[in-house]
Structure 1
Amino acid sequence: MRLALLGCGTVGGEVVRLLHEQSADLAARIGAPLEIAGIAVRRLGRDRGDLPVDPALFTTDALGLVKRDDVDVVVEVVGGIEPARGWLVEALRAGKSVVTANKALLAEDGGTLHDAAAEGGADLYYEAAVAGAIPLLRPLRESLHGDRITRVTGIVNGTTNFILSAMDATGAGFAEALEEATELGYAEADPTADVEGFDAAAKAAILASLAFHTRVSAADVHREGITEVTAADVASAKAMGCTIKLLCIAARGVDAAGRETVNVRVHPAMIPLTHPLASVGDAFNAVFVEAEAAGQLMFYGRGAGGAPTASAVLGDVVAVARNRLAGVRAASESAYADLPVRPMGEALTRYHVRLDVADRPGVLAAVAGVFARHDVSIATVRQGSADGSPGTTGRGGDAELVIVTHVAPDAALAATVAELRGLDIVRSVTSVLRVEGGF
């Protein structure tokens, strides 16, 4: 079985190393040896250290490599939308199996790849696109196909989980925790894709598509990052017996017309310390799956890095190579449900709201009246000083109210916060966070 490898960076280099180190075992598992037909790279002259590969295999002509008749499987670890999409569509239409780690492409235009795979009768595998080495996508699309998944909640970005874990452990602010993550190599020089939730949103789209048999794109995912999370938010979460995580949440639901829908979102949220995801620290990933028959399932492990991602890539390579030798194709995309995506405003959630208010009689009643007007029920209220000191009066005669709501439509909660911002008794709405999980 001959492979075309597109990309030879951190992940691609690890794929080459594992192919070399485990060649005998891989051949035994597949029933035929794996050989590298060629490796497409941007620059031929780059120093690749002691990579165990013949330099003659490198080429800058990725499309030409994909089109070669002696290539059976195309492995893509370049990333991005174009030109990767063109390469993979060409391979799939020609009947060549594809293994990719390209979450951005799958989330933006996975339908095109699945259509090309169906046209060419080829396999499309992408376990490495979400949560690195954690076996997650295969269970969703194969092991749980006899069940009905109702909800998927996950921590799928290691950088943001490291930052929030550091803030929780040390009391540091976001900027300090990000600086530490950068120094340790967890955050890129430009961390936007991670801290603004773009990476997690792409993964959420892939998870929702598999879990609910519906094509979901990144554009369907409500996305918020963690840049506005403060040390005060983390401290407030601790006071409630909670911690803050950047969650991807995909859930079934019913809209106002009684139609079954899905809602997919990524945002920071407080979760109780009793929730299985609360203990996931450092740069680890974990995904919590709820299904009608199987109940609650947890997938946990390292979600990024060259070696873990390469492990997932090679697992897929073994699967597609076996299929090719047997002359069969894996089950095609399952998108039969075609459920509509429910807008974020209709999602049912809870809010944690911190307000700096005037410390005078009637303020709490006025604030409660705003919640009542929008049909949002208050679960708890905690009052303290605006500067965090004991008592009810802070500097300048202000006080702090911390309000946690019961479940309500997100649009109603957002409208409540908007009205609160306009009250003269409300000095500022200092924090708004969603609350997930039971108490």
Structure 2
Amino acid sequence: MTRPLSIAVAGLGTVGAGVLTLLRDNAELIAARAGRPIIVTAVAARDRNRDRGVSLEGLRWYEDPVAMAAEARADVVVELIGGSDGPARHAVEAALNAGRPVVTANKALLALHGAALAQKAEAAGVTLAFEAAVAGGIPAIKALREGLAANRIGRVTGILNGTCNYILTCMRDQKREFGDVLAEAQRLGYAEADPSFDIDGVDAAHKLAILAALAFGRPVEFDAVHVEGIRNITALDIALAEELGFRIKLLGIAQQEEAGVAARVHPCMVPASHPIARVDGVFNAVVAEGDFVGRVVLEGRGAGAGPTASAVVADLIDIARERHTPVWGADHAALSAVPALPMASHHGAYYLRLMVLDRPGVIADVTGVLRDHGISLESMIQRGRAPGEAVPVVLTTHGCQEAAMRDALKRIAALEAVLEPPALIRIETL
């Protein structure tokens, strides 16, 4: 019988326990598909006595994941600690320095340090695999790096954070405000006690940086991603979006343009007929557009023990079969140096909601500012009349430059009759 593939697992939280459970429950099926058994021989975690719902009998225990990565008698190190630095980064580096393949679910680590780690893995001639780092159980990494390898990718778009998608779905379906739904999501365990990484778009941006590197064959560059979250989305905006034929989604969008690659995460108004508009709740989706394949849509659960463990073990099966693919789809020397484009160069349509005093001349003042910046209107909605009181006014524009829109908003916000900062949401026809 072929020698088993032995693995050492750093981190025994929800995902780590899920990996051990999956390897145990589906051991026979996994061995058949991997060509040999995959067995856990060592683990590292902080609390040895914690009940994780899975037996650790017979496994070598390490307090220090870095020592385990360097010393354990294991063919592969699986890093499931999380975090862009500290033990997670040091454990991965130790494993690569020891010539061991690494499987990780750590999107923050890859987004911030993936370029250096990829070079280290390439120099050592070992695999650095990370299917679980983006969109949980959805095989988005394999799809981009392998399944679509013959295509020039023009754009990749994703709903990459289940917490934000859940909140926006509840706000739409239940007509509730952001703060109320967020509090409920925290009670239900869909949002962290400190949800800022999710609701401010950082988690989605980590994942988009990885997808952009794969889609366009360039080193990962998190700092080039424009990031906005969903804190300022209101129930009124969601209701008006529905009236205009859109749904609001937090999207990650990376696009190849003539001058370079644009990567951005922010709330978008998406046509209600588009497949990504119908992805609700905690589900994620990734849409890739290739020159020969056309549009490919992948949808599924983006987090949780089962989906993420599924992706981790898929990488382990590849390693067991000795299937090796460069980290970013090509060797480092073959990666593109195409520049990243700033958000100011973005060109698109916009939704603007203003709270203004209902008095003569206000609309003329606003449209005059837009005209001065070369921005033309497509539509306007004004609900009812309340002379001397605040009323919402909604404007949608034709395509214009982001820089021009930002300059116009500064002038509009300074108008005496505009009572609060204008709400801006970009319209994406996709």
Q: TM-score, normalised by structure 2?
A: 0.94
Shift of 1:102: 0.3
Shift of 1:418: 0.8
Give the alignment partner of residue 414 of structure 2, picking from 399, 422, 429.
Answer: 422
RMSD: 1.7
Structure 2: distance between partners of 1:358 and 1:421 = 13
Question: Which amino acid in 2 is paired with 1:248?
Answer: G
Secondary structure of 2:416's counterpart equals coil
Unaligned runs of 5+ in 2: none
Aligned match of 2:26: 22
Is the contact made by 1:154 and 1:285 (CA closer than 8 Å) also made in structure 2? yes
Matches for 1:275-290 after TM superposition, within 5 Å: 275-290=274-289
Aligned match of 2:61: 58
Give the alignment partner of residue 405 of structure 1, picking from 397, 403, 412.
Answer: 397
Structure 2: distance between partners of 1:42 and 1:316 = 25
Q: Indicate yes or no: 2:165 matched with 1:166.
A: no
Structure 1: distance between partners of 2:419 and 2:177 = 23
Is the contact made by 2:66 and 2:87 (CA closer than 8 Å) also made in structure 1? no
CA separation of 1:397 and 1:309: change in aligned 2, threshold 3 A: closer
Which stretches of structure 1, 4 residues or more, deviate above 4 A after TM superposition?
A: none
Structure 2: distance between partners of 1:26 and 1:428 = 58
Aligned match of 1:249: 253
Is the contact made by 2:135 and 2:160 (CA closer than 8 Å) also made in structure 1? yes
Aligned match of 2:294: 295
Shift of 1:56: 4.7
The CA deviation string for residues 31-63 of structure 1, in whole angstroms up to 9 with x for no partner, is 2222212001112222223x1331652221222
Matches for 1:20-419 after TM superposition, within 5 Å: 20-49=24-53, 51-54=54-57, 56-68=59-71, 70-80=73-83, 81-254=85-258, 260-323=259-322, 329-333=324-328, 334=330, 336-384=335-383, 391=384, 393-394=385-386, 396-419=388-411
Aligned match of 1:387: none
The CA deviation string for residues 308-329 of structure 1, in whole angstroms up to 9 with x for no partner, is 1000000000001211xxxx64
Shift of 1:94: 2.4
Is the contact made by 2:318 and 2:324 (CA closer than 8 Å) also made in structure 1? no
Structure 2: distance between partners of 1:6 and 1:310 = 14
The CA deviation string for residues 79-124 of structure 1, in whole angstroms up to 9 with x for no partner, is 1122211211221232211110000000001011101111110011
Is the contact made by 1:353 and 1:403 (CA closer than 8 Å) also made in structure 2? yes
Is the contact made by 2:43 and 2:59 (CA closer than 8 Å) also made in structure 1? no
Structure 2: distance between partners of 1:433 and 1:174 = 16
The CA deviation string for residues 203-255 of structure 1, in whole angstroms up to 9 with x for no partner, is 0100111001112322221111111111111111111111111111111113x
Aligned match of 1:435: 427
Is the contact made by 1:44 and 1:59 (CA closer than 8 Å) also made in structure 2? no
Structure 1: distance between partners of 2:261 and 2:368 = 32
CA separation of 1:216 and 1:377: change in aligned 2, threshold 3 A: farther
Secondary structure of 1:2's counterpart equals strand
Question: Which amino acid in 1 is paired with 2:120?
Answer: A
Structure 2: distance between partners of 1:332 and 1:221 = 20
Structure 2: distance between partners of 1:344 and 1:200 = 17
Secondary structure of 1:428's counterpart equals coil
Shift of 1:358: 4.0
Is the contact made by 2:81 and 2:87 (CA closer than 8 Å) also made in structure 1? no
Secondary structure of 2:371's counterpart equals helix
Shift of 1:355: 1.7
Structure 1: distance between partners of 2:378 and 2:107 = 39
Structure 2: distance between partners of 1:329 and 1:289 = 23
Is the contact made by 2:95 and 2:102 (CA closer than 8 Å) also made in structure 1? yes
Is the contact made by 2:15 and 2:304 (CA closer than 8 Å) also made in structure 1? yes
Shift of 1:12: 0.4
Q: Indicate yes or no: 2:8 matched with 1:4.
A: yes
Structure 2: distance between partners of 1:29 and 1:173 = 48
Structure 2: distance between partners of 1:402 and 1:64 = 59
Is the contact made by 2:370 and 2:408 (CA closer than 8 Å) also made in structure 1? yes
The CA deviation string for residues 280-316 of structure 1, in whole angstroms up to 9 with x for no partner, is 1110001111122111110100000011100000000
Secondary structure of 1:162's counterpart equals helix
Is the contact made by 2:82 and 2:106 (CA closer than 8 Å) also made in structure 1? yes
Secondary structure of 1:423's counterpart equals coil
Question: Which amino acid in 2 is paired with 1:65?
Answer: M
Unaligned runs of 5+ in 1: 255-259, 385-390
Is the contact made by 2:40 and 2:59 (CA closer than 8 Å) also made in structure 1? no
Structure 1: distance between partners of 2:355 and 2:65 = 58
